[in-house]
Structure 1
Amino acid sequence: MRTRFLLTMVAAALTLLVAAPAEAGPTGTPAERAREIATALRKDPLYIDPAYKTALPANLQVDVRAKAKALGYPVYTMVLPLTPSDEFQGEESTVLTLVMDALRQPGLYVVVDGGSRFPWYEVRDVSQVSEEKLQAARKRALDDEGYDAGPTEVLARMYELLAQPGIPKTSQRPGSSTPSRRDYGEPGGHGWIVAVSIVGGLVVLIGLGLVIGRTRGSGPGRRQNTFQIPPHVAATVAAERRRRLTRETDAELTALGSELAALPTTEGAGLAHQQAALDGHAAAARVLDSSPDLVDLVGAMVLLDKARREYDAAVAAAAGRRVDAVPDLCAFNPLHGRASGRPTKVESDGTTLTLPLCAECRQALKRHSAPASLPGKDGPYWHDDSLWARTFFGTTGDDLAGAVSRGELHR
């Protein structure tokens, strides 16, 4: 009953463009569903699932088609109702991989959950667009359209930005800071990224808290904000975002568990990576079983991300391939995505830490301002007395999974 109430509040308060369809079990195999979508894309490069046909206005569909066509290279766009019970188990990365294999055409492939606004993409044999520009266009589109925009609005803005010369600049309005794709670009195609679909909402919530706090503390001589989102709406959005994070974390736990079970035992370095992946997976399951709060939930996500990277390394070692280095997630807020550039030295009260940080957090430190931290019980999460705070989500130590297994999560 509580979940239904929260979902109802979200729909009423934010006036979502489309309502999420009821979940239904898969009607065929993933490959069959991918071939069905690929066949439709050959006729129309914008595929909208029948569940959304009447919910997405025709003029918005025309806008997406026109702006995608103006790019000058093939763009295949899919709006689907992604749920854990569908053929793709709700995974955007699975949709992209299977549809690309079925269509076998060069182009930019983009998929978005029709009840969300976060597009995920892959590129096949298109030299006209760079990863840097795709990331920048996606982030700018999310910022420009706002967290309550519909999927077609964000897609149209993203394609419009891609058509412009140069790399789109960051929007000046407060918005989300999200990774460009579910994997954050790591090899293997399964990179972990649940976070991605919720990053915008969480960052917006942090901003809402700051706005509300400034409003309450303002005196007669201070300028009042002309618009404030009510606290109960912010709480409803937070609950919905957490629900989605929980759902996708559970899905990744199941998916990685199945892949680890099917991985043959390796030797040497491959065996070490395999064991590390198993340990990380077990630790994440233990955290999730403890009915975690938001910070614990993100900690489980981080453990699964580390386990996924160890799994990819084990597979590479077994095949005799080089193990690619993949950056850690941002230490201040893992939901920001992967660290960029070299680790950053952070000094406070005579103590210096070297932390992996995303570009946004590094820029905040350069401006001598506080980064957009993951919120804890009373301020930034690192003020809490937890394993995540003591190790900045494992970025200052090597054995996060081992610490969880030793009961050091909360002490």
Structure 2
Amino acid sequence: MRGGWLVLILSGVVLLACPLPAVARERAEPVSRADHIAAQLRRDPVYVTDHAPRALPPDAAERIRAAVARLGVPAYVAVTPTVGLSTGRHDESLLPLLRDRLRRDGVYIVASPSSPGGEVRQYGGSRRLPLEDAWRAAENELAYDASTPERIELFVDIALSGRARERAENPPPRPKSEVRKALDADDAADRRAALIEWGVFGGGTALSGVPLLALLTFLRVRRGTRRPKGRQAAKQRQRPKKPAKGRR
């Protein structure tokens, strides 16, 4: 009996001392975000996160796919939050991680679903595109709340325009966001309402002052007509009486 227990204990010690197989170790390690996105990009070169449905239009993936197809080179797009990457380092770029896992040449784009943040880079290929200038120009020419499909569509237009650097270095005035437009419209409505209120108040004041003005005018005119008679009576009282004739 003791020999059996001894065999079991020794067997457990041997198993603990031996390293786990590679397959078991891989299963034990959690899948990183880069691994997950790279696996999705192998199936479809445009990956759109499903964690931001309100920030993206329903046809976001279709619009992005149609836009990058015009570049004429392989393109891989990941629309995903750009904070907190797989390595745990916030300053780590996701682009080289995806390139390292896919090992495919082409244009790599990582874009945020709810903010202007993003990055673009080209790996390999004989046709070089002004991607960084085009991305910077697109960010400068769109409002802050422009959707990610709008940003990528404009980016592709600028990259193919032949004026990417010129537009990046000479940006036009940034359009107003929808929030800013709504606030400006509210301010304009408030100003119109204030003008109307002041107009009504001023008109009411003017109308209420008309009877008072008429009364004051009437009293003044009446006082003016009475004043000469009073003055004439006073003069007559002050005038000395002439002595009667024949009296000495």
Structure-1 residue corresponding to 2:135: 138
Q: Separation in 2 of the partners of 1:229 and 1:141?
A: 29
After TM superposition, the structure 1 = structure 2 runs for residues 85-234 of structure 1, keeping only pairs within 5 Å, are 87-89=86-88, 91=90, 93-130=92-129, 133-167=130-164, 169-170=166-167, 172-175=171-174
TM-score scaled to structure 2, two decimals? Answer: 0.52
How many pairs align?
Answer: 151
- Greater RCO (Cα-Cα under 8 Å, separation 6 or more): 2
Provide, for residues 163-216 of structure 1, a one-character-per-residue CA deviation record: whole Å limited to 9, x for no partner.
33454532652249xxxxxxxxxxxxxxxxxxxxxxxxxxxxxxx9xxxxxxxx
After TM superposition, the structure 1 = structure 2 runs for residues 246-285 of structure 1, keeping only pairs within 5 Å, are none
Q: Separation in 2 of the partners of 1:229 and 1:138?
A: 33
- Aligned alpha-carbon RMSD (Å): 3.2
Q: CA deviation at 1:89?
A: 3.6
Q: Separation in 1 of the partners of 2:120 and 2:71?
A: 15
Q: Separation in 1 of the partners of 2:48 and 2:145?
A: 20
After TM superposition, the structure 1 = structure 2 runs for residues 30-69 of structure 1, keeping only pairs within 5 Å, are 30=32, 33-53=33-53, 55-69=55-69
One-letter code aligned to 2:94: V
One-letter code aligned to 1:150: S
Q: Separation in 1 of the partners of 2:81 and 2:125?
A: 27
Checking the alignment, whether the CA contact within 8 Å between 1:161 and 1:168 is kept in structure 2 is no
Q: Separation in 2 of the partners of 1:126 and 1:166?
A: 21
Checking the alignment, whether the CA contact within 8 Å between 2:121 and 2:132 is kept in structure 1 is no
Provide, for residues 133-161 of structure 1, a one-character-per-residue CA deviation record: whole Å limited to 9, x for no partner.
22321122112222221222211210222
Q: Separation in 2 of the partners of 1:83 and 1:165?
A: 32
Runs of 5+ consecutive residues of structure 1 not aligned to the other structure: 1-26, 177-207, 209-226, 231-411
Provide, for residues 340-395 of structure 1, a one-character-per-residue CA deviation record: whole Å limited to 9, x for no partner.
xxxxxxxxxxxxxxxxxxxxxxxxxxxxxxxxxxxxxxxxxxxxxxxxxxxxxxxx
Runs of 5+ consecutive residues of structure 2 not aligned to the other structure: 1-28, 188-248
Match of 1:28 among 23, 27, 30: 30
Q: CA deviation at 1:87?
A: 2.7
One-letter code aligned to 2:166: K
Q: Separation in 1 of the partners of 2:157 and 2:46?
A: 16
Q: CA deviation at 1:79?
A: 1.0
Structure-2 residue corresponding to 1:80: 80
Checking the alignment, whether the CA contact within 8 Å between 2:137 and 2:171 is kept in structure 1 is no
Checking the alignment, whether the CA contact within 8 Å between 1:81 and 1:113 is kept in structure 2 is yes
Q: Separation in 1 of the partners of 2:138 and 2:50?
A: 25
SS of the aligned residue for 1:41 comes to helix
Q: Separation in 2 of the partners of 1:156 and 1:92?
A: 27
TM-score scaled to structure 1, two decimals? Answer: 0.33
Q: Separation in 2 of the partners of 1:41 and 1:102?
A: 10
State percent identity of aligned pairs: 25
